[in-house]
Amino acid sequence: MDTDYEKAAFAARLNEICDDMKVPPKGQARQTTLANIFGITQKGVRKWLEGEGYPSIDMARRIAMWADIHFEWLMTGRGPKWINEAPGEGMQSGQDRAKSGNLVQNVSPAPDIKGRIPLISYVQAGAWNEAVDIYEPGYAERWLPFLKNNGEKTFALRVDGDSMTAPYGKSYPAGCIVFVDPERRAPISGERIIAKLEGSNQVTFKVFVEDAGHRWLKPLNPQHPPVLEPFRVVGTVIGKWEDD
């Protein structure tokens, strides 16, 4: 892979993936975003995107893992693009191997991943109404798989503190990550939400409770008191992500 044509073809595939992943449009914004994600210089990214060079093999594998695409497709354009696509000719899928007895199948098919969700800060979440573009360079700390049933503006937050650590049942310990749909701002009682307290910059993750016309925020940890101050709903929590 050393001709100008091959470099240009690689750049086209990388830009195609960036479009799929909703990375900002071509130019400096895209370069800066990828540089932040992969911890490299903007100059290096520019060479990849403009057909002037290639990433190292290790970096290319990181890009493929980030985008859930096949490494071979990224580097050569051959074979299926997405990891969850049907395998190409001569390739055997994990499901086929399991049926043939080569594997013991103890997992279900993975969710249909459509892109990436930005992991942002509570400060950024609290300013959601004023935010113009959550995909601007440097906005996300990290990008997580975007499932097909999520809203297009879904973002992720890392849980801080132990107020949502439950003694039993579903729990959200400090450090885990929740997915938030900001288009769902009319939660029903019992749903988990992200809320911003009125008159302050404080943003919190709690259970939404509504009864007899009164609304308040309830922690799952009984050692924490309920939040009775007025608040506005930033979004409804629709899932949880925990790293291995």
In the chain, CATH 2.10.109.10 covers: 113-241
Q: Give residue 244's pLDDT.
A: 54
Q: Give residue 232's pLDDT.
A: 92
Question: Is the domain defined by 4-99 classed in CATH 1.10.260.40?
Answer: yes
Counting as low any pLDDT under 50, the low residues of the chain are: 1, 86-114, 130-138
In the chain, CATH 1.10.260.40 covers: 4-99
Q: Give residue 205's pLDDT.
A: 93
CA dist 42 and 63 (Å) reads 15
Q: Give residue 27's pLDDT.
A: 77
Q: Quick one: which H or E segment has residue 140?
A: none
Bridge partner list, 156: 119, 179
Q: Mention every residue, 6+ apart, whose C-beta is less than 8 A from residue 88.
A: 78, 79, 80
CATH T-level assignment (fold) for domain 113-241: Umud Fragment, subunit A (2.10.109)
CA dist 46 and 32 (Å) reads 9
